[in-house]
Amino acid sequence: MTTPAPKVVVIGAGVIGLTTALAAAHAGHDVKVISAQRPEETVSAVAAAIWAPYHAEPAAWINPWAAATFDILARLADTTPEAGVQMREGIVVNREGSAPLAWPETVAGNRPALLSELPRGASSGTVCTVPIATMPTYLKWLQKECTALGVAWEWRTARSLVLEADPGAVIVLATGLQSLGLHPDDGMYPVRGQVAIIGNTKVDRWIIDDANPAGPSYIIPRTDEIICGGTAETGAASLAPDPETQKRILETTMDLSPGLSKGTFLGSRVGLRPGRHLIRLELRDENGIPVIHSYGHGGSGVTVSWGVANATLELINTASQHPSN
C-alpha cells in the first residue's frame, strides 16, 4: 500500500518559502503557506536578486545548491519570460590588496575582463553571464505557479509551531529573521542592506565591486529599473534609509557607470538579510511535530533557493518515513 504524501505547512512567503512550496506541490504534496507578509512585503522583494553566492555558509552546501538554482533560473530565462528572469553579462571587479571573489570562476564561459572594460581603479576583473530576477515579477510568478498547483494561502501571523501543526503535516519554517519569534536560535542576526533605485536610463551590464574603497558596491540592471548598492551592516536593524549611505551609493555607482547619471533617482529601499553563522536546514522533532528549519541564507536566498527547496523535499520524505506525530 502506498503511503500518501504528507501535508506540508510552509511558514514564510519570501523566495525560500515560495520556492519550497512550489517544489513540494510539484512533488504531489498538499501544501499550505502561512505568512504575515505577502511576498511583495518580504525582504526578498528588496533583493537585487543577481545569482551570486554571498554572505552565507557552509560552502559545501552553498555551492551545489547554487549550481542547481543557476540551471533552473537559466531555463526560466530561456523559456518563461513571464517569470521575470534574464541572463545578463557583467563584470566582477578585482582591486589590488583584496582577494578576488571565488564564485565567478565557477560560471561557465567566464573570461578575464579587458582593460577597456574595467572601471577606474580596478586591477582586473572577471566577465561572466548569470541570471538576474526582477523580484516583484518573479515572486508573483512563484505565487501564481503555487496557486495553480493547489497551494493554499493564509495571510496571518503564525501563532506557534504547535498550533500550526495540522495532523500528519510537516512544518517548514522559512521566515528568515522572523523565525526567532517561533523558535529560539542564538545564531540569527540581521544584515542590513540599503539600495538606491535608478530609472529612465539603460545599463547593459551588471557590476559587482566588493572591494571598492568607498564600500561594497554593485549595479544590477533589471527589466524596468537599476538597483544600485549597497551595504552589509551586520547587526543593524533600522529599516529607514540613511541619507549619507544613499549619497555614497549614488556617487560610487555613478563613478563605476557614468551612464547612471542620465537616469532618474526613484528612491532608496532597505531590507534585513537573515544572517546566521551557518545556514540552517535541519529536520527536528519539536514536541512531537516534524519541523524543518530553513533559514539563515544571508544574501544568497535567490542564489540557493531551488537547491534549498530540493534538499527540503528530501527532508520531507525522511519525515514521512519516520513520522513523529
Residue 2 lies in a domain: no
Residue 37 carries which DSSP code?
A: S
Q: How far apart are CA 92 and CA 218, in angstroms?
A: 9
Residue 88 lies in a domain: yes
Task: Identify the CATH number of the domain in which residue 83 sits.
Answer: 3.30.9.10
Quick: pLDDT tens for 270-302.
999 888 888 899 999 988 899 999 998 888 999
Which band of pLDDT confidence, cut at 50, 70 and 90, is reported for residue 2?
low
Global pTM value: 0.93
For 316, the domain range is 7-321
- Cα 325 to Cα 158, 166, 169, 244, distances in angstroms: 19, 10, 8, 53
Residue 90 lies in a domain: yes
Q: How far apart are CA 140 and CA 122, in angstroms?
A: 38
- Of 41, 3, 298, 310, nearest to 172 by C-alpha is 310
Quick: pLDDT tens for 70-123.
999 999 999 999 999 999 999 999 999 998 989 999 999 999 999 999 998 899
- Output the CA torsion sign for 45, 10, 65, 183: positive
Q: What are phi and psi of 217, to 5 degrees?
A: -135, 145
Residue 1 lies in a domain: no
Q: Which three cell numbers stand for residue 241?
A: 534609509
How many domains does the chain contain in total? Answer: 1
